[in-house]
Amino acid sequence: MPPGVDLFEEHGEVAALWPQRIYHGRTVVCFDRHLDLKPLAPGGAEALRAAASAGEDPAALVRRLPVRGVPGAFGLDDFWTAAAIAGDLKSLVWVPSWRSHPGWWSTATDAVSLIAVRPTAPYDATPRDAYDATPRDAYVPHDSYDDAVDPAPRARACCLSVTLCGVRLAVVPPDLLAEHRRRHLRGDVVVDIDLDWLVDEHGRLDHEVDDLAELVSLCGGELSAMTWSTRSGFLPAEFRRVGRDVARRLGLRTRESSYLPATPWPEDVLLNVHRGVVPPEFTTDSQEPVAEGVAIALRGLAAAAHDPGAAHEAYERAAAHGYRSSWLAYRTGIAHYLAGDHGSARTRLRRAVEIDPADTLAMHARILAARATARIDGPRPALAELSSLARELPLRAGVWRTVRVLAEAVGEPELTQEAEGALRRIRRLGVPEEPAERADR
Ligand SMILES: [Zn+2]
């Protein structure tokens, strides 16, 4: 019988394979349209460590519904971080769906730049000193962080590598994977595929099944899992066959190994939400107590862009059902911001941050909230908010550029210099080191 590969509905379900230590001593090569690495929701790391020390299955902590930011759990968007804690993961190659292009290192840097380099200190939703502090008061010298982590980014001809969330990550465009395999990957490899890699956000095939199979072959390791990501709205249902097609090209059997219960709403709801189409009213017959709240939040999310009032109302109704959606608060904040209502925008954005403070979404919410502060209270309080955020996001060029502008405007030369130094370091990542270097790992 040919060897088999596990097929899952949602990506976080691969946690079921971790007790077999499939990542131990190996590099994971992951084909995915999205990088599922970011700090865990509050309590997630503690819950994983507790499970690991009790010898319990980490898969029990996978979020049952495909929504983000559930305290004490992890799921489709952050499970590589969980794998670093409970799955023996140390080295990850992310193969995005975009190909190399002039300046692709900047695209790669940008793609990881909202991942905070250290656990965020508890975020005070209304920063104590934001309105009257000078930036100098809010300024903490970078080297005074005991827990500061140097992400040690390096740009090389075939990869951008950086350490985030406890994982050494290499971002490698698919057309450079063969070169990266030859130069930089020593030892065993295990491959993981999110099938949304094949299909673009408009539902068009972006890569051929044959090309993916060929890339998997050149990695030369086991293919451990494939994921459909249909329930979470990233792979339109009509493309589900591609999983079996890829397996067939590789001479593998497939096993349907999904264990999460079906979502208690129509399968295309999240696809519509991603596309901003408000789904028709639907009810859930779920045993999950918060499912009704999630259903309300999903409709609010789809409506948020054109009706922030309705979105806010949906937020409150969902919260009354026990589901506080950071995603909905964030989207509502953006809609208010774009409508020029900076006060309401900041309130909603800060609420998103409060719910899941280290999420990439929270980082973006803090950036926008600081911009709202600049409009409401002026440059000095905005600089206080942004300069502390910038140190958590050393690769986020846009934030450092704004810090530089604001620091110049209010006359803070040390902050101006710090921003210039950070921008220089980021710029250097757009110029890879000597391509003829020797393999060094
Ligand atoms: Zn490389």
Rounded to whole angstroms, how far apart are CA atoms 13 and 166?
A: 20
Residue 172 Cα to ligand 1 midpoint, Å, equals: 7
pLDDT at site 242? 94
Residue matched to tokens 């948020």: 304
Residue 173 Cα to ligand 1 midpoint, Å, equals: 10
Residue 439 Cα to ligand 1 midpoint, Å, equals: 9
Rounded to whole angstroms, how far apart are CA atoms 8 and 26?
A: 21
Residue matched to tokens 């999950």: 288
Residue 433 Cα to ligand 1 midpoint, Å, equals: 11
Residue 396 Cα to ligand 1 midpoint, Å, equals: 22
Residue 374 Cα to ligand 1 midpoint, Å, equals: 41
Rounded to whole angstroms, how far apart are CA atoms 57 and 14?
A: 12
Residue 187 Cα to ligand 1 midpoint, Å, equals: 14
pTM of the predicted structure, to 2 decimals: 0.89
Residue 179 Cα to ligand 1 midpoint, Å, equals: 7
User: Measuring CA to CA, which residue among 169, 219, 158 is closest to residue 192?
Assistant: 219
pLDDT at site 148? 52
Residue 105 Cα to ligand 1 midpoint, Å, equals: 12
pLDDT in tens, the chain (441 residues): 678 999 999 999 999 999 999 999 999 999 999 999 999 999 999 999 999 899 999 999 998 877 887 889 999 999 999 999 999 999 999 999 999 999 999 999 999 999 999 744 444 433 333 222 333 333 333 333 444 568 999 999 999 999 999 999 999 999 999 999 999 998 899 999 999 999 988 889 999 999 999 999 999 989 999 999 988 888 898 999 999 999 999 999 999 999 988 887 777 888 877 877 777 777 777 777 788 888 888 888 888 888 899 999 999 999 999 889 999 999 999 999 999 999 999 999 999 999 999 999 999 999 999 999 999 999 999 999 999 999 999 999 999 999 999 999 999 999 999 999 999 999 999 888 765 445 444
Query: Does residue 291 sit in helix, strand or coil?
Result: helix
Residue 241 Cα to ligand 1 midpoint, Å, equals: 32
What is the DSSP secondary structure assignment for residue 153, as one 8-state letter?
-
Residue 361 Cα to ligand 1 midpoint, Å, equals: 29
Instruction: Tokens for 361, please give them.
Output: 């979404």
**Domain ranges, ordered by start, for the chain:** 1-115+165-260
pLDDT at site 263? 82
pLDDT at site 396? 97
Residue 220 Cα to ligand 1 midpoint, Å, equals: 16
User: What DSSP string runs through 374-431?
Assistant: HHHH-HHHHHHHHHHHHHH-TT-HHHHHHHHHHHHHHT-HHHHHHHHHHHHHHHHTTS
Residue 93 Cα to ligand 1 midpoint, Å, equals: 9
Residue 409 Cα to ligand 1 midpoint, Å, equals: 41
Amino acid at 367: I
Residue 154 Cα to ligand 1 midpoint, Å, equals: 10
Residue 320 Cα to ligand 1 midpoint, Å, equals: 49
What is the DSSP secondary structure assignment for residue 114, as one 8-state letter?
T
Residue 440 Cα to ligand 1 midpoint, Å, equals: 10
Residue 197 Cα to ligand 1 midpoint, Å, equals: 20
Residue 15 Cα to ligand 1 midpoint, Å, equals: 27
pLDDT at site 267? 77
pLDDT at site 434? 61
Alpha helices in 98-176 (DSSP H): 104-112, 135-138
Residue 300 Cα to ligand 1 midpoint, Å, equals: 42
Residue 438 Cα to ligand 1 midpoint, Å, equals: 11
